[in-house]
Amino acid sequence: MSKNSAWKKGVLAAAIGALAGSVFMPATADAQTELRLHTFVGPGHIIFREILEPWKAQVEEESGGELTITLYPSMQLGGGAPELIRGTQAGTWDMAFSLPGYTSAQFPRTQMLELPGLAEDGIAATRVMWDLIEGGHLEPEYDNLKILALWAADDAGLYTRDTPIRGLDDVQGMILRSPSAGQAAQLEKMGATPVAMAITELYPQLERGVIDGAMVPFTTILDFSMYEVANYFTVSGPVFGRSQFTVVMNQASYDNLSPELQAVIDNTTGIEMSNRATQAYLDRADEAIEYVRNMDGKEVIELSQEEQDRIAEALRPIYDEWLAEMEAQGIDGRELLAVAGFNPDE
């Protein structure tokens, strides 16, 4: 081999070695870490605007830009809304904002908050859920997940397209959307036919008259433009259960962060974030009710105390049924109710 050829081979080997080093060198401590958060709501949704986007900015600021969160609204990463939590468990994405009620069977303990009349308002219901979390009661339902936020919505209400609901008797025979198994049971007890349906499917089904209406938090009136297809809005008070919402993180994604970045996540989430989200829903529900109250052709109906009491009596057997169902699954339902300060025998 000539000296010139040997020199060329030496230069080529050095260049390949340098390239390999640049490609396969382990990430340095100041490398940026990206976490992907997937959700079914659009960028105009109240939680996206007032909770997720500010939290993203806070995390990036407190981590000095080392940790970034990329938000994917409107199912941009694919799949359907019921797949969000399971996809997070599987590590398909790092985080999700969704409803446990979309896969009710996976969350029997969490779904206790859908029992009728269990909590006075959304803030009280959120406190109950964090008491359950802190007591370790919910751990079996969140395998390979870290709960970043878990909160209750505003009071569930009823809205319809063609026929107003002024009391229990009006619900008889209606086909109404339900967001979960727990709220489906309540509709059945009132004589309606529940149809399981993600909120993203509700608008076209109501517009076409496939269903008569829906049991749903009233924030959806504005956040999903339901005022365009619903005409009667029945404010029910705290007689129904409440949907729960959560932001969860894949446990492995969390564990792979440095202790410093884990601390950023921990310090910016939890019950404080959950309470802010609950209050955002409460405020948005009030805004939505006033919005349709001032629209031509719309009617807001507030159930009388007498009708609320009639509905509560019709729904009372749900507690016994729920306790029996929990016992069949090996879950101490009475212990969970005790955390909520509720005695089913009273």
pLDDT digits (tens, 9 = 90+) for 67-115: 999 999 999 999 999 999 999 999 999 999 999 988 989 999 999 999 9
Do 345 and 323 form a contact (C-beta atoms < 8 A)? no
What is the CATH number assigned to the segment(s) 33-152+243-282? 3.40.190.170
* Phi, psi angle pair for 39, to nearest 5°: -155, 160
Give the span between the Cα atoms of 241 and 180, in whole angstroms. 10
Residue intervals in the chain for CATH 3.40.190.170: 33-152+243-282, 156-238+288-339
> pLDDT for 2-44, tens place per residue?
444 444 344 334 433 433 333 333 333 345 799 999 999 999 9
Q: Which CATH number fits domain 156-238+288-339: 3.40.190.170, 3.40.50.300, 3.90.1640.10, 3.40.50.970?
A: 3.40.190.170
For residue 32, what is the DSSP state?
-
Q: What is the pLDDT of residue 198?
A: 86
